[in-house]
């Protein structure tokens, strides 16, 4: 699973980089782990025991962290001022074990994206509930305000992760669906691009930013719709002096 982000795109403007990082990092890590767990669980339900047998069907984040993709690459790109992207360690699956190969491949590929969308939508009423709780119990306003900001981050981060992973560029999840739309010859040639997937992604993020922005625009739109519902229930900024 891969993800892309600008520098903390929805953190309140008043927050310094450390505060932004403390808000975003745990939410992003949880979202990435949920995405990968969903792939492994869906594969398990389709008849593939690979992730389970290798101990990857777990919520333990340490099992899903890839030293390069999760830590080194995003940090390096951040220092260089370029587009920031990275990912968790992919959950190993063996499509040959699926009871129905094509259907299983599509279900497993879309499981992570579906989970991210689910988290985003569930986070909206949670933001409202936390806001109501904070208003009812003023003594808890500050800690609940921090939790609320993390949930707000969760809405946007998960929408972005879902949209980004649906891009039809190998090895992103969308490519596993797109290959079935193509004629057989084209599909074979398309799948061979998987070896160049990361180079294609980096080139797209570097030189094709308008295309990426257009592709992600539904995520921005849905974030705006969600904001209409939860904004009246936002608590005061807990980081204000």
- Residues with a catalytic annotation lie at 36
Measured CA to CA in angstroms, residue 69 lies from 50, 97, 114, 126, 231 at distances of 22, 27, 22, 30, 34
CA dist., res. 217 & res. 211, Å (int)? 10
**Which residues contact residue 2 at a Cβ distance below 8 angstroms, ignoring those fewer than 6 apart?**
69, 85, 86, 87, 164, 165, 172, 201
Angle between helices 209-230 and 101-136 (to 10 degrees): 40
Distance from chain centroid for Cα 82: 19
Strand-pairing partners, residue 4, are 85
């Amino acid at each position: 699973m891969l993800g892309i982000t600008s520098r903390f795109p929805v953190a309140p403007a008043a927050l310094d980089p450390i505060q932004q990082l403390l808000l975003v990092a745990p939410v992003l890590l949880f979202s990435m782990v949920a995405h990968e767990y969903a792939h492994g669980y869906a594969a398990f339900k389709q008849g593939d025991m690979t992730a389970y047998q290798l101990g990857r069907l777990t919520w333990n984040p340490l099992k899903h962290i890839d030293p390069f993709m999760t830590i080194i690459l995003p940090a390096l790109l951040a220092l260089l001022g370029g587009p920031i992207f990275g990912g968790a360690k992919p959950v190993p699956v063996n499509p040959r074990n699926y009871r129905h190969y094509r259907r299983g491949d599509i279900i497993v590929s879309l499981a992570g994206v579906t989970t991210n969308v689910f988290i985003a939508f569930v986070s909206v009423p949670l933001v409202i509930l936390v806001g109501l709780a904070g208003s009812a119990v003023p003594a808890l306003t500050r800690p609940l305000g921090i939790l609320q900001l993390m949930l707000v981050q969760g809405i946007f981060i998960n929408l972005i992760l879902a949209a980004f992973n649906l891009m039809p560029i190998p090895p992103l999840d969308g490519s596993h669906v797109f290959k079935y739309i193509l004629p057989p010859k084209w599909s074979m040639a398309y799948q061979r691009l998987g070896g160049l997937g990361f180079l294609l992604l980096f080139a797209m993020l570097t030189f094709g930013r308008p295309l990426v922005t257009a592709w992600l625009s539904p995520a921005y739109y849905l974030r705006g719709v969600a904001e209409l519902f939860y904004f009246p229930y936002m608590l005061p900024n807990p980081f204000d002096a």
